[in-house]
């Protein structure tokens, strides 16, 4: 296929603006999928994606299209996720494209991710085709939204395509515009092979499958290829395209998008962003790869049944194969036993990973409260990273503490400015700017500690703006702050599972709420239990759990002995489920509730 008849594009949009439905219509329109085989959100393969109406993984699909100019074209659609957590995946997909369809809801207008994704596209020098979706809705205001696109993003949207992905209205125009406005790929079939891996998945039969975009040269089955990052060579088993199911082809030429399999056993061997070349005739330079993403939110995953640690490890390994942005390392908790400290790109990423483990790998797990990575500068000048409260050194050894900040953009109707600003203030946000994007639409910009953001910011924002807010954020690096580790002591012994890190000014309030919650949840025992919150040696909160005074004393005569024994055995089992910390028995619920406490304490 000549290069000028190939178009590689993504669809970018804010969540819920109709990206996946639009993709479905394009597949129908090009007869890539018969209408009767159509299920909604076809490209969202994960069960979870369909259910939540979001896209997590990028899935490429090839469409054949006969344009009005009479020529046959190949259109490669590379789907992208729409949530801020997955910005990384978006930029990966965009790097494999020359153009992108920018979908904007004709009623809701420009939202936070519309802007963020447009900027990413502009950064990668990608041509945008604006499309206004949902024009069939009574609330649609195409002219206003066209104006917004011009005002906010800065691209001309006068001739934006008006469509309704729901009814199919305007679909042929979208296809025509893709061909007209997006540049064709450039490349040289005779040059040494250069193909970019923009994603990879693990298949039980074929091993690792790499999604590739060929820049130069030709990928052919049975050839020996080399991964430039590892320098390792593999024989190609299969070269193919997605229609949308995998379909082998003879070769993939320059500008084409497809997949390869080469009996690659682990995802580490075929890194996303790596360049594939010909082992016998290697290219000189690798294509620009991707910045490695660093996880920003951490939490502990523990199996519900303690003996299932290995099952959880295997599931995490498999999940990592499909999602290289997840990191994990074993950790041990007094309360929960053996588990893993896992790193994620964001809260949604964390939640989704938990659900995927549960559904796809059938693992029941408990997730601890999320936390961020802190930097601690020691008095001797060393800098350490604290992934969990127990990594925090003794206060006497700390010269400075730093926490990660994000730059947060919040898009809201102007009537919600008041409550949103006070929420940001409460969350230790620093005001940066307020811009009127349209007469009644405002963008608030704040710098905020990531730790405050992951606590419950999103939920609180939703409730104080009745769901009208949209937001986007980017990481700004670390900033010095007065952070302290608060330890919780039971009977004067610290219990690591209950420690937490917070700003010094919040220590008393949070300590109070945690201690109060524990007092409620730890059953009375035969002795008085002091529950304390302390910073270093300094106790800031103290409450007592009073001793049990009397238990129900059932009578016990001849006929009752067996029954009484069984009852005692049962009670003992109940007690065994509790975790013995020193002399104190703590029910599991206390640990779970503690995880919620850190989430809900400010409400």
Partner 1 sequence: MLNPFVPRLRNISLYLHIPFCENKCPYCAFDSFTPNEGDVDLYLELIEKEVEWWSRRLGRVTFSTCYIGGGTPTTLTGPQWLRLTQILDKYFDFKSKAEITVEANPNSLKTEHLLHWRDWRVNRISLGVQSFDDAELIQLGRIHNSAQAHNAISAALAASFSVSIDLMFGLPKQTFQNWGRTLKESVASGVQHLSLYQLSFEPGSAWENMPKETLPDGYCPYRWAQWYLPRKGYMQYEVANFSRAGRESKHNINYWREGEYLGLGLGASGYLSGWRYKNTSVFREYSELLRLKKSVIVSGERLSLDAKSKEAFILALRMSEGINRNDYKNKYGELNEQNLIKTLRTFPNDLYEITKGNIALTAKGMRVANIIWTDLI
Name the minimum Å distance from CB 492 to partner 1.
16
Site for partner 1 in 429-448 (CB under 8 A): none
Q: Quick check: 572 binds partner 1 (CB under 8 A)? A: yes
Binds partner 1 (CB under 8 A): choice among 71, 72, 561, 589: 561
**Contact stretch for partner 1 (CB under 8 A) within 170-178, 426-434, 521-529, 591-599:** 521-529
Q: Quick check: 546 binds partner 1 (CB under 8 A)? A: no
Tokens representing 105 are 């809801």
Q: Quick check: 492 binds partner 1 (CB under 8 A)? A: no
Q: Which is nearer to partner 1, 168 or 587 (CB)?
A: 587
238: CB partners within 8 A, 6+ apart:
206, 221, 248, 259, 260, 261
Name the minimum Å distance from CB 497 to partner 1.
22
Q: Please say whether the beta carbons of 13 and 79 come within 8 A.
A: no
Binds partner 1 (CB under 8 A): choice among 556, 577, 589, 596: 556
Q: Which is nearer to partner 1, 512 or 519 (CB)?
A: 519
Q: Quick check: 38 binds partner 1 (CB under 8 A)? A: no
Q: Quick check: 544 binds partner 1 (CB under 8 A)? A: no
Q: What phi-psi label fits residue 321: left (phi over 0), alpha (psi between -120 and 50 degrees) or beta?
A: alpha
How many chain residues interact with partner 1 (CB under 8 A)? 25
How many Cβ atoms are within 10 Å of 463's Cβ, its own excluded? 14
Return the SS3 of 55: coil
Task: Of 430, 427, 354, 341, give the one whose Cα is nearest residue 385.
Answer: 341
The C-alpha angle 457, 116, 60, rounded to 5 degrees, equals 110
Cα–Cα separations (whole angstroms), residue 272 to 95, 210, 290, 324, 330: 12, 8, 8, 8, 25
Name the minimum Å distance from CB 555 to partner 1.
5
How far is Cα 238 from Cα 259, in angstroms, rounded to an integer? Answer: 8
Q: Quick check: 571 binds partner 1 (CB under 8 A)? A: yes
214: CB partners within 8 A, 6+ apart:
187, 193, 194, 195, 252, 253, 254, 255, 256, 257, 258
Binds partner 1 (CB under 8 A): choice among 37, 381, 553, 603: 553
How far is Cα 344 from Cα 326, in angstroms, rounded to an integer? Answer: 5
The DSSP bridge partners found for residue 600 are: none
Q: Which is nearer to partner 1, 480 or 548 (CB)?
A: 548
Q: Please say whether the beta carbons of 208 and 270 come within 8 A.
A: yes
* Burial class for 457, CB neighbours closer than 10 Å (0-12, 13-18, 19+): buried
Q: Quick check: 583 binds partner 1 (CB under 8 A)? A: yes
Name the minimum Å distance from CB 563 to partner 1.
9
Name the minimum Å distance from CB 521 to partner 1.
17
**Contact stretch for partner 1 (CB under 8 A) within 123-131, 230-238, 475-483, 568-576:** 568-576
Q: Which is nearer to partner 1, 504 or 567 (CB)?
A: 567
Name the minimum Å distance from CB 575 to partner 1.
6
Q: Quick check: 530 binds partner 1 (CB under 8 A)? A: no
Q: Quick check: 575 binds partner 1 (CB under 8 A)? A: yes
Q: Quick check: 565 binds partner 1 (CB under 8 A)? A: yes
Q: What phi-psi label fits residue 325: left (phi over 0), alpha (psi between -120 and 50 degrees) or beta?
A: alpha
Q: Quick check: 527 binds partner 1 (CB under 8 A)? A: yes
Residues of the shown chain interacting with partner 1 in the complex, contacts defined by CB under 8 A: 525-527, 547-559, 561-562, 565, 568-569, 571-572, 575, 583
């Amino acid at each position: 296929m000549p290069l000028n008849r190939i178009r590689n594009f993504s669809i970018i949009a804010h969540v819920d603006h109709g990206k996946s439905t639009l993709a479905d219509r394009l597949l129908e329109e090009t007869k890539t999928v018969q209408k009767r085989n159509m299920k909604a959100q076809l490209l969202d393969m994960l069960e979870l994606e369909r259910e939540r109406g979001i896209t997590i993984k990028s899935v490429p699909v090839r469409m054949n299209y006969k344009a009005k100019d009479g020529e046959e074209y190949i259109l490669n659609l590379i789907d992208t996720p729409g949530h801020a957590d997955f910005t990384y995946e978006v930029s990966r997909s965009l790097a494999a494209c020359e153009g992108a369809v920018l979908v904007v809801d004709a009623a809701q207008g420009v939202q936070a991710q519309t802007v963020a994704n447009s900027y990413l596209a502009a950064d990668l020098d990608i041509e945008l085709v604006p499309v206004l979706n949902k024009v069939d809705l009574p609330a649609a205001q195409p002219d206003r939204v066209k104006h917004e696109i011009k005002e906010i993003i800065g691209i001309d949207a006068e001739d934006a395509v008006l469509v309704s992905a729901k009814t199919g209205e305007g679909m042929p125009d979208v296809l025509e515009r893709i061909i007209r406005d997006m540049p064709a790929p450039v490349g040289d079939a005779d040059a040494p092979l250069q193909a970019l891996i923009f994603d990879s998945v693990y298949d039980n039969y074929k091993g690792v499958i790499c999604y590739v975009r060929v820049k130069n040269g030709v990928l052919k089955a049975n050839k020996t290829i080399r991964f430039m990052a590892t320098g390792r060579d593999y024989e190609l088993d299969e070269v193919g395209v997605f229609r949308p199911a995998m379909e082998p082809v003879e070769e993939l030429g320059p500008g084409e998008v497809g997949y390869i399999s080469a009996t690659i056993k682990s995802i580490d061997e075929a890194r996303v962003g790596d360049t594939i070349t010909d082992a016998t005739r290697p290219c000189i330079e690798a294509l620009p790869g991707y910045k490695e993403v660093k996880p920003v939110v951490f939490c502990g995953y523990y199996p519900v049944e303690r003996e299932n640690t290995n099952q959880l490890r295997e599931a995490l390994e498999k999940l990592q194969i499909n999602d290289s942005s997840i990191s994990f390392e074993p950790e041990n908790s007094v309360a929960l036993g053996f588990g893993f400290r896992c790193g994620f790109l964001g809260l949604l990423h964390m939640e989704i990973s938990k659900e995927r483990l549960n559904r796809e790998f059938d693992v029941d797990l408990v997730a601890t409260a999320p936390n961020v990575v802190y930097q601690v500068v020691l008095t001797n000048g060393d800098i350490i990273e604290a992934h969990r409260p127990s990594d925090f050194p003794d206060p006497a050894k700390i010269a400075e503490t730093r926490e990660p900040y994000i730059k947060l953009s919040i898009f809201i109707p102007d009537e919600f400015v008041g409550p949103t600003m006070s929420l940001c203030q409460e969350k230790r946000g620093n005001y940066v700017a307020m811009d009127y994007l349209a007469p009644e639409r405002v963008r608030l910009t704040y710098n905020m500690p990531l730790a405050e953001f992951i606590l419950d910011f999103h939920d609180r924002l939703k409730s104080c703006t009745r769901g009208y807010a949209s937001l986007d954020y980017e990481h700004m690096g670390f900033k010095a702050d007065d952070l302290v580790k608060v330890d919780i002591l039971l009977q004067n012994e610290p219990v690591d599972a209950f420690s937490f890190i917070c700003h010094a000014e919040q220590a008393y309030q949070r300590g109070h709420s945690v201690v109060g919650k524990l007092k409620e949840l730890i059953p009375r025992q035969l002795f008085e239990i002091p529950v304390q919150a302390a910073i270093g040696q300094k106790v800031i909160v103290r409450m007592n759990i009073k001793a049990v005074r009397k238990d129900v004393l059932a009578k016990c005569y001849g006929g009752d002995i067996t029954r009484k024994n069984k009852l005692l055995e049962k009670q003992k089992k109940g007690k065994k489920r509790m975790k013995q910390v020193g002399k104190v028995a703590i029910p599991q619920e206390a640990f779970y509730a503690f995880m919620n406490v850190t989430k809900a304490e400010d409400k």
